Structure 1
């Protein structure tokens, strides 16, 4: 997969994640990831974020079916 880059989580254990369109490079959203969300994203190939308001993992599109 290439060279690994160290990820600097903040004091709350979170890192900002910017989601972009692969073709146009347009920024689609910004969300937060904790270590578990990052691990699940890498393992599944689907975006998993940390919801600060719900204090829970958030599998993007799981409710709507748009994963």
Structure 2
């Protein structure tokens, strides 16, 4: 069985190689470490991924030492 070719994307703000890459599959959002493209992937339900990204954009994951 062959693995389908995927288009992996990372943030345009990424410049030091410590990145998370994201790809879309038929029924999931996949993530991987850009330094280990042949390593493990995490698979997320698209609705949960969207909620996660919206929470980040809304400031829902501030570091404790980051002023609001």
Give your verdict on TM over 0.5.
Answer: no
Return the structure number with greater strand share.
1
Larger radius of gyration: 2
| TM-score, scaled relative to structure 2 | 0.30
